């Protein structure tokens, strides 16, 4: 797990902000492609670590650039967020990448509800 990236996510969460995958990639020199050094793996491993330690999935604040909308004004999580192997994502929010005819498997309702259910206020309350 990348502790430097985790610290950055905690800082953003405490200030109530989201952060884009692209800005994390640039700041920490992380690749977009597959493998253990890719942005998806880095962010996913941080969420798995948080889940194993009984804390909210902090990756709920990592969003796709330009994905802001009326329902998710701070942006939408990536499709991989909804497939993180954890019980912290309510069953009704879990999605496969092909769900809803959306190649990322993300809907505006899902991203908004997932952020509320997993990160939001819970980060500060859990002592991060």
96 φψ region: left (φ > 0), alpha (ψ -120 to 50), beta (else): beta
Q: What is the mean pLDDT of the chain?
A: 74
How far is 110 from 90, CA to CA, in rounded Å?
10
Closest CA to 84 of 58, 120, 109: 58
The percentage of the chain sitting over the pLDDT mark of 90, rounded to a whole number, equals 23
Which tens digit of pLDDT belongs to each residue from 93-112? 555 544 434 444 444 445 55
Q: Which pLDDT band, with edges at 50, 70 and 90, does 39 fall under?
A: very high
Residue with tokens 């809803």: 100
pTM of the predicted model as reported, rounded to 2 decimal places: 0.71
As a whole number, mean pLDDT of residues 55-66 equals 87
How far is 9 from 16, CA to CA, in rounded Å?
10
User: 3-14 and 21-28 helices cross at what angle (nearest 10)?
Assistant: 130
As a whole number, mean pLDDT of residues 46-53 equals 88
Give the pLDDT confidence score for residue 28 in this predicted structure.
96
As a whole number, mean pLDDT of residues 75-85 equals 73
The percentage of the chain sitting over the pLDDT mark of 70, rounded to a whole number, equals 63
As a whole number, mean pLDDT of residues 36-41 equals 87
């Amino acid at each position: 797990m990348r502790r430097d990236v985790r610290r950055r996510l905690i800082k953003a969460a405490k200030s109530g902000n989201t952060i884009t995958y692209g800005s994390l990639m640039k700041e920490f020199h992380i690749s977009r492609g597959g493998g253990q050094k890719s942005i998806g793996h880095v962010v996913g491993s941080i969420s798995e670590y948080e889940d194993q330690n009984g804390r909210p999935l902090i990756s709920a604040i990592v969003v796709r650039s330009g994905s802001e909308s009326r329902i998710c004004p701070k942006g939408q999580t990536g499709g991989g967020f909804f497939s993180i192997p954890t019980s912290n994502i309510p069953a009704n929010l879990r999605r496969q990448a092909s769900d809803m005819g959306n190649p990322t498997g993300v809907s505006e309702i899902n991203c908004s509800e997932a952020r509320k259910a997993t990160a939001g206020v819970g980060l500060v309350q859990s002592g991060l």
